[in-house]
Amino acid sequence: MIGFDNFEQINQFASSTIVEWYHQSVHAHFIVTSRQRLSVSMEEVYELPPFQEEEAIQFFIAQQNRIGIKESPSPKDRERISTIVQKIKTTWHSN
């Protein structure tokens, strides 16, 4: 799973990056946050209000489940997910 945050800043490159990588990789999955739609064929849009930390962690885990990662995250994995959530939150609020 590969994540990109604030993709609206480089939205014009969605077709030449995300789409190209999507078509070239069998096992990669992408989560992209953006204040604008990417307008690419395989885009699935989830309009999200700001999450509390636990809600963000649960959303992350739900997306893993959706792509076939069914096992529950270990305590160490939850800690890593929490770190990712905090970094995204810090980045998002600094813009």
Query: How many Å apart are CA 2 and CA 78, to the nearest integer?
Result: 17
Whether residue 95 has pLDDT greater than 70 = no
Whether residue 28 has pLDDT greater than 80 = yes
pLDDT of residue 58: 92
Whether residue 92 has pLDDT greater than 70 = no
pLDDT of residue 79: 94
Q: Is residue 7 a contact partner of residue 33, using CB atoms and an 8 Å limit?
A: yes
pLDDT of residue 46: 86
In tens, the pLDDT along 38-48 reads 988 888 898 87
pLDDT of residue 90: 73
**3-state SS of 53-80?**
HHHHHHHHHHHHHHCCCCCCCCHHHHHH
The whole-chain average pLDDT of the chain stands at 86
